[in-house]
Amino acid sequence: MRSEFAELTMNILLAGGDAGRIGGISIDWEAYNQDALDWLDMYLGDKPLPGLTSEGAYPWAWAVNETTRRGVTDEITRWVKSGAPLPELELRLRGLFDDRRAHMIAVTEVTRIYASGNVMAWKASGVVDGKRWQTARDEMVCPICSKLHGSYVDLRGGWEFSAAVLAANPELAKALRAPMTVIVPPGHPGCRCWLTPVVLAALSDDEAAAGLFDPMGGTP
């Protein structure tokens, strides 16, 4: 069970890394592969890192049986080849799970693993400076992700929501419940958001300033 789940997780991680080559970005695959193996150990709880080990890994593992595992892998492969945004993958996965909770776990964890693969690839490129949060911009986007949409942070940083930010934004405080820093999507269970790379040299000063995450400001 564990080996099959590890294989599925690594496949998603590698898909995220491959997609990280967006815009012709060149990746140091040796560095990426080592980071991916370390991340997988962390995700499965073999190499716990404070604040990073995913509590979703184990429910996700039990939600995926052999048949579903093959289906998830096939759908991810088709989705990567199609070049469609992450919400399209969510639709593809919907038919694989009879149980609503299992489906939500799957979407949440695939989002987390894929985004982590993106970031690892961008770190291995040596040219990407930041990561930008993207939403589907539809009626299902929540207050948390609406706040993040279009903004970017340093590649090794996160989107920080302090107590002061929550005090100034009651709707956001209700959604988050406590101060937190979001490193990669998901911003919440069932999140469909994704990341794109930011290369500061390709932005004007105005573009760089406008897109930088401002927790007390509005959506860029």
DSSP 199-215: -GGGS-HHHHHHHB--T
- Least Cα distance to 128 among 138, 114, 116, 118 occurs for 118
47-51, 103-107, 146-150, 191-195: the lowest-pLDDT one:
47-51
pLDDT of residue 53: 43
| Residues 25-34: tens digit of each pLDDT | 888 888 888 8
Per-residue pLDDT band for 46 (boundaries 50, 70, 90) equals low
CB atoms within 10 A of CB 156: 11
Residues listed for the chain:
220
Per-residue pLDDT band for 63 (boundaries 50, 70, 90) equals low
**pTM higher than 0.85:** no
Site of tokens 């048949």: 67
Q: Do 147 and 216 contact (CB within 8 A), yes or no?
A: no
How distant, in Å, are the alpha carbons of 5, 96, 188, 197 from that of 100?
A: 20, 11, 16, 32
**Mean pLDDT across 65-69:** 73
pLDDT of residue 195: 94
| Residues 147-203: tens digit of each pLDDT | 999 999 999 999 999 999 999 989 888 888 899 899 999 898 888 899 999 999 999
How distant, in Å, are the alpha carbons of 150, 193, 208 from that of 114?
A: 19, 11, 25
Does the pLDDT of residue 122 top 90, yes or no? yes
* Angle at alpha carbon of residue 92, lines to 91 and 96, rounded to 5°: 110
User: Per the omega criterion (within 30 degrees of 0), is the bond before 186 cis?
Assistant: yes
In eight-state DSSP terms, residue 138 is: S
Q: Report domain extents, the chain.
A: 1-126, 129-220
CB atoms within 10 A of CB 123: 18
Q: Do 18 and 10 contact (CB within 8 A), yes or no?
A: no
Does the pLDDT of residue 51 top 50, yes or no? no
39-53, 81-95, 188-202: the lowest-pLDDT one:
39-53
